[in-house]
Structures are given as structure tokens and as C-alpha cells.
Structure 1
Amino acid sequence: MKHHITVLAAFTAFSLSTYAWAADNTWAISPAWNQSSDSDGLSVHKAFATAMPSYTNGLKWQGVEWQEQRYKQNSTALSGHGVNYTAQDLDALTGLGYSLKVGLNQGPEKTTVIGDWNYNKAFNSQLNWGVFASRDWVESIGALQQGTHYDLVGGNVDYQVHPRITLVGALAQTHFSDGQDRQQQRARAVWDAWPDQGITLQWAYKHQLGDSHGVTTRNYFNPDRLDESMGLIGWRRRIEGWQWYARLGEGRQQVNSEGHTPARLAELQLTSPVRGDWYLKLRAGRSETLGLYSSNNGYVYRYLDVQWIWRLDR
């Protein structure tokens, strides 16, 4: 199978290089690193190396990507790899446009097609709409050992009811390859409270319904019902072309018929100027439920994503 993935990578790279030569676009390379860990002891590390024959700027490019992933929990270690076609074309001011990744990934037990697609467009000056879809492995040790993957589809709407107030709604449906399903609805209100300081006040709500369809062995978290409500403060600032964004959230979560428990979130994002010989994007965050620190009854999730793009034809 690794031979087939390598052949696919070579064919994709050749096709893209032919397109880039015809369109007279520049080349770029991009290493990237994603990692996450949680209070259950699971750690996930992913490394990416991308060749971009068609590169315009940090928000518009296409290329072929090699991916390696590692999973570890206690004494169990699993791995996988794959090759992806990846493309992006986003507006620097509005964020509208599309991003796409589709490829073939060899997991610890099986090989499957994976993908991630987002498309957002303005309907008018007040209303934006979008659709999204993804397919990937369910990242728990039990699910990976069974070769379980998910298919997710959904849509979102952003409506500006006032120059400083925006309402956001999203619906998503997830089907798991072991037969389970999940429905999720999200709502968010954003108030541009202090525009000069880049500070927003937000409220977010998530409602989730899971259906096991009689599956008795649950290798991942998919409760019958989950509700979460959270208030957040956001901060966005552009400093010498660098875009900073941070948010802090505090709220409550309820799983099934259990009592409400605290939920918290913290995230930082940093992106370099879009145009130039290189582009950097970083995202780091932490979410937690039932208390500030991990405990037998709590859950903490930490993540870090870094991408660096270097233009070759300068």
C-alpha cells in the first residue's frame, strides 16, 4: 500500500508542476506540525511536508502533501501515513473562499480516503453562507485499532444584524463507520464591543445528539446528549502586518442527564503578513471541563498547530 501512495504522490506532483509551469506561478515548500494531548494520556503528533508548484501568497496556493501521524497512550503506540492534494484560496479581508485537502491515508489497521473541505461565500453585504465536509480517522486508541473513521457534512450561516453584531449558526451530521451517528447544532452571537481596541464579547451554544444504533462497544466519546453554553471575550489586533487573535471562554456543559459542570477555553492565533517570501501560521489552545485541572472526573485537551511556507522563486 505504501508503494501505491508513493506513486500517487509522484503523479500528483507531476500534474501540479505542469500546471504551475503553464500558469507561470512560483514554487514554495511548507513544513507543518500538529500535536495534541489530553488528560486521558492520549497524544497525537502529525508532521506534514508540502511541495507547492502553484503558490501566489500565504492564502492562495495548491500542492501535494506527505503526512506522517503518531498516536500514543500509555504503552500503546500506533502510526500511519498518507499523501494529500491540498489547495486554498481565501480573501485576506473577509476570510471567504475555499480550502481543500483530499488524499489516501494508511492508518494503523486500514487504508481509506480522507478529506477536508470548506467553502464560504457572501450572499449579500449582510449574509454569508458556507458548506463543509470532512472524512478522517476517529482519534482514540480503541477506534484506531478497529480502523474506525467518520464522515461529516454541514453548513453555516453568518448574518450581520447590526454593523457591530453578528449572529452565526451551523448544523452538522456525522456518521461513524462502526454504525454510530451524531447530530450537532451550534449558535454564536458576536458583539464588536470596543472596535478601536479589537475586543469582542461573544456567546456560544452547542447542542449535540449521539445515536449508538445498538453498538455496545464504545471506543470514543459519543454521548446520547451534550449541551454547552459559554461566554467569551475575544481580542484581535494587527501589528506591523502580523495578525494576533486570542479568546477566553467560561461556561457550563451537561452530558446526558448529569449535572452541569464548568467548561473553559483559551486559544491564541498568530499569522504573519500574507504577502512576502514566507508565511507563518500558529494556533495553540486548551479546553477543559469540570474544573481547572485534570482529575478523575475532568477532561483537559491541549493542541498546537504550526505551518510555515517558504517561497522558492523569489
Structure 2
Amino acid sequence: MNKIKKYIFVLALLSQSAQAQESTWMFGGLSSEPSKIAVGVPVSFLSTDSEGFEAYKVGAQLLPLYQHGDNYSGISYQFNKYTQNGWAKEGNQLGLTSKVINPRTALGYIANVNMNSLGGHTLLTTDSYIGFQPTSSTRTEFISSREWVETQNALNNGIYYTLGAASIEQRLLDRLSGIVMGGNMYFSDTNTRPFFRLNLIYDALPDYGVNLQLRYRQYRDTNTNVANNYFNPNQYRETMLAVGFRKMIEGWRISGVAGLGSQTINSDGSTGTQLLEFAATSPSVASVFFRTRIGYRKAAGFQGPDYTYSYFMEELIIPF
């Protein structure tokens, strides 16, 4: 209970910071406009990979403080189920959520805290974000996440991670920007994973929302002798070239990316990687708010360099 009280206090601090950014930046669902009541149902996430591991997450939200699809506060429930080759594990999650994102800039905050119970283990989880623009050409973001490690061995053993990261996006030239991100993942089995990412983005066809991207990421695991709970190489590097798309169409925010890359695991030779993602978000003030995202990635995993992972998520919010 004390942790939840501290979390609510943090939300209050975020709301004060938000008001300094924009007058509509207040605690999610509170502004000069009267709030509505809304329900999010269903809110779902499905994933599958080449190792036969599947995740099903289906939930609902009750949002008594609702302004629009990017500004609300309320409570959430989620049912989680994982399966792999005849093995299965189920759990439940109950949480508090608050969100204030400016649809024009995608800056603001997302804050949540959840009590997640799974297979006799209980974990306080979060997936939170705050972003702001300190100058006209600079964006800064902070990310915090705490969650179960989603593999069969890790879920059986109650292994989780805590992640903290920060990024800076800087406009370098008129149509060229760069993003630098650094952070660390702290696993409950004593392993840690410092990581670094660098993206260069060139607006090749700005009128059509098309950009070219050069992506680089690397991480290393400090303890590769832990039990075989997840893919943990000594060192991983990937370089990727991608084509991205982001445009507002009839009020809908549409984005996507397709990329081909090369990865190196430890001292092995390089192998190919792939990335495909697509996202669509309805107008924030629509009578019914809808968001969806679908993705595919090919990269290294337990069984070698050709591990694949696919996912689908959707969020439907109906105000009253």
C-alpha cells in the first residue's frame, strides 16, 4: 500500500510538470473541459514466436476521468496467459493508469502501476514514460519499465526485469535528426544489461511522410552464467537500414517502418535481421477511440540467429 501511495504522489508531481509544458497538461482526465466516463474494452495484446511461445493478454479499463484517447485516468484489469508446446501459465493484473499525451507532438506522460500475479509469484509492474521539449529543436524522453521476463523458464522461476532509460532527439539539419538512447536492464537473477541505441532519420519526402533511417543498437549481459531463463549473449550488435512512414490522414495518425539489418552475437559472424511495423490511431477526440499496432521482427534468440517474433495489439475506448 505504501508503494501505491508513493506512486500517486509521483503522478501528482508529473501533473505539475505537465502544467508547465502546456495548459492542457494536467493529471490525466482533468482540464478546463468537463471529464467524461469511458470504458476501454477490449484492450488486447497477442504475440507468437518461432519457438512456439505465445502470449495472450486481454483486459479492460474503467476511466472516470476521460478527456480523449490520449488524456485520461482510471483503473485497469488484464488477464494474461502464456503457452508453449503443451505448457501453460495464467495470471491476473490490476492497476492504476494515467495518461496525458499531446496528439500533435506525442509528448507528455504515461504513468501506470499494476499488481501482477502469476503462478504463485506477485510483482509490482509499470510501463511509464515522460517526454518534453526543452528547446525548439530538442526532445527528451525518460522510460521506466518493470515486468516479468516472458519465457517459459523465466515465468516458472519468477524472473523479472527493471528497466530505466533516457533518450535525446536533436534536429541536426533542416531534414535530418538524430536520436541517442541509453539505459540498463536489471534482471532479478543478478544479470544486468546496459544498452545503447543510435538512430539517424532523414525526411526524404516530407510532404508524403516518408523518411530514411539508419539504426544501430548494442547491449551486453554482465552475467552469462545464470540459468537458461532467456537469451543472454555476452555481446550483441545490430545495424539496420529502414524506410519509415508517418502521416496524418483524415485525422488518423498512420505510421510504419520496414528495415533490413545485420547482427553480430559475441564473436560469431554476422547474420541478417528484419523489421516490419505498422500503427494506426484514430482522432483523439473521436466518439470512439481506436488504436492498433502490428509488428514482426527477425533477430537472434535461444535457438540461433533466425528467431522471429510477431505481435498484435489494439485499444478500443468508448466514452459515455
The alignment's TM-score, normalised by the length of structure 2, stands at 0.87
User: 2:244 aligned with 1:263, yes or no?
Assistant: no
The match for 2:203 is 192
Percentage identity across paired residues of the two chains = 29
Cα distance in 1 for residues equivalent to 2:311 and 2:57: 11
Coordinate RMSD, CA, aligned: 2.0
For residue 117 of structure 2, the aligned residue among 106, 114, 123 is 106
Task: Tell me if the contact between 1:109 and 1:146 (Cα under 8 Å) persists in the aligned partners.
Answer: no
1:275 alignment partner, one of 275, 285, 288: 285
The residue aligned with 2:74 is 63
Cα distance change of structure 1 residues 213 and 258 upon mapping to structure 2, 3 Å threshold:
closer
The alpha carbon displacement at 1:144 in A equals 0.3
The reply on whether 1:29 has 2:30 as its aligned counterpart is no
1:275-314 aligned within 5 A:
275-289=285-299, 298-312=306-320
Q: Distance in 1 between matches of 2:52 and 2:307?
A: 10
Secondary structure in structure 2 of the residue aligned to 1:144: helix
State TM-score, norm by structure 1: 0.89
Counterparts in 2 of 1:297 and 1:263: CA distance versus 1, 3 Å: closer
Q: Is the 8 A contact 2:102 2:108 kept in 1?
A: yes
Q: Report the equivalent of 2:23.
A: none
Q: Give me the whole-angstrom Cα distance separating, in 1, the residues matched to 2:243 and 2:103.
A: 23
Shift of 1:262: 0.3
Equivalence for 1:15? none
The amino acid that maps onto 1:267 is: E
SS at match of 1:94: coil
Equivalent position SS for 1:114: strand
How far apart in 1 are the matches of 2:304 and 2:219?
Answer: 23
Distance 1:124 1:238 in 2: 24
> How far does the alpha carbon of each residue in 1:11-41 deviate from its partner, in whole angstroms, 9 at most, with x for none?
x9xxxxxx98xx9411000020101110000
- Superposition pairs for residues 59-98 of structure 1, below 5 Å? 59-98=70-109
Matched, 1:133 2:141: no
How many angstroms does 1:296 deviate by?
Answer: 6.7
Does 2:237 correspond to 1:237? no
Cα shift readout 1:249-281 (whole Å, capped 9, x = no counterpart): 001011111110000101110111111211100
Helix, strand or coil at the partner of 1:298: strand
CA contact (8 A) 2:261 2:272 kept: yes
Shift of 1:214: 4.3
Q: How far apart are 1:101 and its partner, in Å? A: 1.5
Number of corresponding residues: 291
One-letter identity of the residue aligned with 1:55: Y
Report the equivalent of 2:184.
Answer: 173
> How far apart are the structure 1 equivalents of 2:176 and 2:304?
40
8 Å CA contact 2:271–2:305 kept in 1: the answer is: no
Contact 1:128 1:159 in 2 (8 A): yes
Is 1:159 matched up with 2:167?
A: no
Tell me the amino acid that sits aligned with residue 311 of structure 2.
Answer: Y
For structure 2, the residue ranges without an aligned partner over 5 or more in a row are 9-28
What letter matches 1:196 in structure 2?
D
Gaps of at least 5 residues in structure 1 are 13-18
Q: 1:122 aligns with which of 120, 123, 133?
A: 133
Tell me the alpha carbon deviations over residues 137-164 of structure 1, each in whole angstroms, 9 at most, x when there is no partner: 0000100000111111111100011221
Query: Structure 1 CA distance, aligned partners of 2:173 and 2:216?
Result: 20
Q: Secondary structure at the match of 1:259?
A: coil
Q: 3-state DSSP class of the match of 1:123?
A: strand
Cα distance, 1:289 vs structure 2: 3.1
Partner-residue secondary structure (3-state), 2:207: helix
Q: Secondary structure at the match of 1:258?
A: coil
